[in-house]
A and B are shown apart, each in its own frame.
Chain A
């Protein structure tokens, strides 16, 4: 009886099963008729999403407008409102970071081990199949190779010195074209899409499409050593054996600029992706930055006391790595041209360097390829990954959006797995590794519409948003020119002459009179201006007493105490 009741009660108890031990129960059970209370689950109010202040900082666009520099109250109010909108946009941008759900990670070694010990084959064994497929070796026999990945990292272009050129989708290993140009191939570069590429051959630069058909031959770019393509400006930049730099606008087929750097043959060249400036490194240990619009370098940096062996700029445009023959690798802040922030000493100067999207630095020394993480205090001296290639390394590039490092050697191409190298979250509108054909077309049109004029290439990419204020020197030059101004020529024409009122002699007289009057007026005006300039800038004659001729009566003057 009691048991029954108890079980009932237990059942009644809001769905919770309570086991009642009723063996020693002797009392009377009063069953209270209580309806089971169904507690409605409180709706979890969505917690207010707190925006990461770091993210806010990352997305901020700089300090707001102060009201002091704005004229009326109406505009002050309007600008204030705009600032609020910008703040909102900043917050919104910071908020969107939660959409970056992909995470990148690095290999971590167990105690007593070092990641550098892991060979590629070991890594391949421990990764998934798709990643494992990204590690491959191409043994090719056409001499030292150069290579480039496309912007989205999907396609690969390799060119061997002995004329072998191959373009392929390296992930699916689908070959677009393979050919021998029967000429020396010095460097290769993709154009804005994967259907076209440029190859610097023995004499000139040739353009091919992905079927291997030659589209164009640019003879103005001759004996080129290095090729770079600036995707936002649609410029193909080349460095010459003689020291010439050329920029070719590939969208309109026009040579934008071409001049001599007077630095000797261009051997080491790379681009700064943020501002489109070309960085050249020379034998004098100086890195110089060039734009097509000025014939002088925009800036020069003395990086090494010896000649520089390699140079690399990171994809975000914040750091530049240089390696000199002094066996040191220096990392510079390329935005402010300051540094070095870090200096490494290595055993051999690196003939090639590459920086990945996540900031891994790879060095190629002879046939050894080493990838280093950012300075690591635990084991700073050890590399992250080391790989000995079969031959001397001639080119190296991290594949965008992939944990892959492409290395070209004298004997072919190697694709190395470097966990944590690539950016995990890609912006499909910017560079989409899974681009379809229609997307590519769309993107091409968009890119053309968004093309940045070549004049905008400057050290500060935001220069276009700045006000053109004359420099100090320009102001003074303008002032100086005032001193040498000539009176303007007077184009005198006499008004309609009535018949019989003075002949040509008379007109000549009048002309002379008018001219003189004008001249006098001008001179008078200029005199005032000149005197003002003199008064301002004339050197005060500092004639000391010794310079003056001695007067007879000077001896009566009180003598100075020495």
Chain B
């Protein structure tokens, strides 16, 4: 089938252009008719997930077909497509696409690709590692290292007192164990918290402590504010405050009704409860209008008197209930527990907060079932009234409730607007409000409060609110500034972190230009990644060192004046004058007791007589002998008697084999005159001496100079001794020495220099100069 198609195709081609190539191709195809084709020609199939290896396209060989030749070649396809009218547009699109698109390059062979990959990875790794060069070099050159290095950057060390720890290892008696079981463990939470603390990094710790500090500041501010407000004696102010709060609450409540009716209902319940509680207080025993009226009436009316008595008895009952013993005990226990908890968790605001919430809930619970009597009585009456009436119950919850962040309060809340926003469902409340508005003209309510006061209160409220605002403003300002500060700091922190990262990236780029410089090569300065100031400093140091080297070289090249001085003959230089001393003569005859003393007198004269005679000669002779000993002797290798024989007239050959060894060019200066120094080496000492230069030294002079100064306590001051004999590495006991942290690259830990270190730094500076 295929072949048929193909042959057709070829025929078509032939029709169009008679070409040698085509002809050749044809011949090829014909010749291939009988050959077996193992790899199938590519056929366009439905795309499948399976890749068959036999669908691979055979590469072009000699006399083989290519995809261009087949019907699958794009131009051919285009032709086919263009032939039918339906697909003409597709064909043109294909053609266009062909024009635009380039063929992808052939993928590289696997080993080549891998090689490239490897080389790229190598470069990357190199860059990464080269960052450490400077640090490593500095650490290697440091004469003293104390581990752990990253004291500042490591996680916070939490001090655990050894005593506290030791208690864990004490063997506990049975009694102790039992006691422990019974003991309440309040600080389990704290412990867990502490563990968390230990896990925090330093930065986190700092951030957290800041947060805590802020919270504390705010709290204290609020406390101060509350205290100030509490101190204000004007009743009006407090009334207004209450009103305001109430209004706010109403507003919130209305909003809540919209958003979360269930919560609103709950709130309503709560409010009611609170009102009931309030009502139940003994405060209202005889202060309400009803009670007052009753009192007046009781003077004249018996029933009224009865009622009053009943009322009083109820009150008494209730007070008695308050002092119930069992309840008291419970209370005491509770308070004790609370105080305990508070003691343990003073420093844990999170725990504290959660507990306050709990407490509130508990309070609410305890309030339940309290004063059923009053509940029954007032339940029906005042639920909704209380909501809308501007007064009616004190807001004690304001003191109970945790003081919240003061929101920006608009002094004049438009009630009308609120009204508009009310739901249609709350018809009752709306009605009441309308009624209030109507009443605002001057009617009195059943409660006995005039609504006029509300209207009157408005301007007053404004004044006061201004005052309050002033106070609020102060706090707000403080808060704002604090917030700003915190945000700024946070920003800075973030920026710094970002910068650090950027820097790292930059630095990663930099070292690519240079080679690896593990040994602090002086020649190439740029190569070292300048990660920080100090690292830059090291560069500077190197430059200075370079200068120092050049200087040293210059000094070496200049003739040493000291050397000249050695050439000067000291004898000529130091010809001393004889100083004649007027010594007293002894007045004793010393020759009596001692033989030696007796000999002295005689010797004197003889010695003086023979002065300068043979002593000098003897010494010179000795000196010469000594010098001769030092000189290497020549060797005569001629055989004795060789060439010495023969009769008369025969001359001996003067072929002597004598080896002449060079005499020591530089004779010791000291041996010239009156001094002989025997240069023979002391074998005993030799055993202890160093015979070959150890590694870093190449010259004897420098090695000896390196050894010249003692380090012992007896020879140098104690401080210097400690400095010179400081161990190369010290480790802190009981600490984990972690591998070096990357933080070192960013910020080398600042060292606090002590006195000697300062002095040494000064010396270093001086030496650089």
* Alpha-carbon gap, A275 to B38, bound state (A): 102
Contact B760 A306 (CB under 8 A): no
B116: interface (CB < 8 Å): no
For B662, B678, B714, the residue with the greatest tally of chain A CB atoms inside 10 Å of its CB is B678
Contact B588 A92 (CB under 8 A): no
Contacts of B699 in A (CB 8 A): 68-69
* Alpha-carbon gap, A393 to B689, bound state (A): 45
For B635, B681, B698, the residue with the greatest tally of chain A CB atoms inside 10 Å of its CB is B681
Partner of A302, one of B588, B619, B695: B619
* Alpha-carbon gap, A29 to B78, bound state (A): 124
* Alpha-carbon gap, A189 to B682, bound state (A): 28
A–B complex contacts, Cβ < 8 Å, 11 sampled:
A72-B696, A300-B678, A309-B600, A338-B675, A346-B581, A455-B688, A466-B704, A472-B632, A476-B662, A538-B657, A541-B655
Given contacts A339-B574, A349-B600, A368-B584, 6 further A-B contacts (CB under 8 A): A74-B137, A81-B143, A88-B763, A301-B675, A366-B586, A386-B584
| CB-based nearest B residue for A446 | B714
Partner of B522, one of A73, A286, A474: A73
Interface-facing stretch out of A18-26, A100-108, A374-382: A374-382
Contacts of A539 in B (CB 8 A): 634, 656, 658-660
User: Taking the nearest CB of chain B, how far is it from the CB of A281, in angstroms?
Assistant: 13
Interface-facing stretch out of B195-203, B267-275, B549-557: B549-557
Contact B685 A455 (CB under 8 A): yes
A343 and B659 in contact (CB under 8 A), knowing A293-B682, A296-B680, A466-B704?
Answer: no
A167: interface (CB < 8 Å): no
* Alpha-carbon gap, A93 to B720, bound state (A): 9
B261: interface (CB < 8 Å): no
Contacts of B553 in A (CB 8 A): 68
Q: Binary interface profile of A, 515-539, with partner B (CB < 8 Å = 1, else 0)?
A: 0000000000000000001100111
A194: interface (CB < 8 Å): no
Contacts of A365 in B (CB 8 A): 583-586
B645: interface (CB < 8 Å): no
Contact A144 B594 (CB under 8 A): yes
A70 and B578 in contact (CB under 8 A), knowing A467-B703, A468-B690?
Answer: no
Q: Binary interface profile of A, 20-44, with partner B (CB < 8 Å = 1, else 0)?
A: 0000000000000000000000000
Partner of A87, one of B143, B676, B693, B763: B763
B186: interface (CB < 8 Å): no
Interface-facing stretch out of A59-67, A127-135, A174-182: A59-67
B353: interface (CB < 8 Å): no
Q: Binary interface profile of B, 613-632, with partner A (CB < 8 Å = 1, else 0)?
A: 00110110010000000111
User: Taking the nearest CB of chain A, how far is it from the CB of B557, in angstroms?
Assistant: 11
Contacts of A392 in B (CB 8 A): 586, 588, 590, 593-594, 597
Contact B607 A85 (CB under 8 A): no
B719: interface (CB < 8 Å): yes
| CB-contacts of A322-358 with B (<8 A) | 325-326, 328-329, 336-349, 351
| CB-contacts of B676-726 with A (<8 A) | 676-691, 693, 695-710, 714, 716-717, 719-721, 723-724
| CB-based nearest B residue for A75 | B696
B521: interface (CB < 8 Å): yes
B407: interface (CB < 8 Å): no
Contact A144 B549 (CB under 8 A): no
B129: interface (CB < 8 Å): no
Q: Binary interface profile of A, 72-97, with partner B (CB < 8 Å = 1, else 0)?
A: 11111111111111111101110110
User: Taking the nearest CB of chain B, how far is it from the CB of A63, in angstroms?
Assistant: 6
Contact A391 B579 (CB under 8 A): no
For the complex of A and B, the 3 pairs showing the least CB-CB separation, nearest first, are: A366-B586, A455-B684, A69-B702
Contact B675 A300 (CB under 8 A): yes
* Alpha-carbon gap, A363 to B583, bound state (A): 9
Contacts of A534 in B (CB 8 A): 657, 659
| CB-contacts of B69-128 with A (<8 A) | none
A464: interface (CB < 8 Å): yes
A196: interface (CB < 8 Å): no
* Alpha-carbon gap, A297 to B679, bound state (A): 10
Contact B586 A66 (CB under 8 A): no
| CB-based nearest A residue for B761 | A84
* Alpha-carbon gap, A74 to B675, bound state (A): 45
A313: interface (CB < 8 Å): no
Contact A370 B583 (CB under 8 A): yes
| CB-contacts of B631-660 with A (<8 A) | 631-632, 634-635, 637, 651, 654-660
A538 and B659 in contact (CB under 8 A), knowing A66-B552, A84-B763, A89-B720?
Answer: yes
A368 and B585 in contact (CB under 8 A), knowing A144-B593, A340-B576?
Answer: yes
* Alpha-carbon gap, A474 to B683, bound state (A): 13
Partner of B615, one of A306, A339, A479, A538: A306
Partner of A74, one of B520, B579, B608, B763: B520
A367 and B587 in contact (CB under 8 A), knowing A73-B522, A78-B143, A538-B658?
Answer: yes
Partner of A391, one of B545, B580, B588, B604: B588
For A381, A383, A450, A473, the residue with the greatest tally of chain B CB atoms inside 10 Å of its CB is A473
Partner of B702, one of A70, A92, A300: A70
Contact B578 A92 (CB under 8 A): no
| CB-based nearest A residue for B626 | A300
Partner of A469, one of B674, B700, B721: B700
Partner of B695, one of A68, A71, A294: A71
Contact A343 B579 (CB under 8 A): yes
* Alpha-carbon gap, A338 to B583, bound state (A): 26
Q: Binary interface profile of A, 481-507, with partner B (CB < 8 Å = 1, else 0)?
A: 001000000000000000000000000
Contacts of B140 in A (CB 8 A): 74
* Alpha-carbon gap, A65 to B690, bound state (A): 18
Contact A286 B619 (CB under 8 A): yes
* Alpha-carbon gap, A367 to B586, bound state (A): 5
User: Taking the nearest CB of chain A, how far is it from the CB of B409, in angstroms?
Assistant: 51
Contact B682 A455 (CB under 8 A): yes
B670: interface (CB < 8 Å): yes
B439: interface (CB < 8 Å): no
Contacts of B423 in A (CB 8 A): none
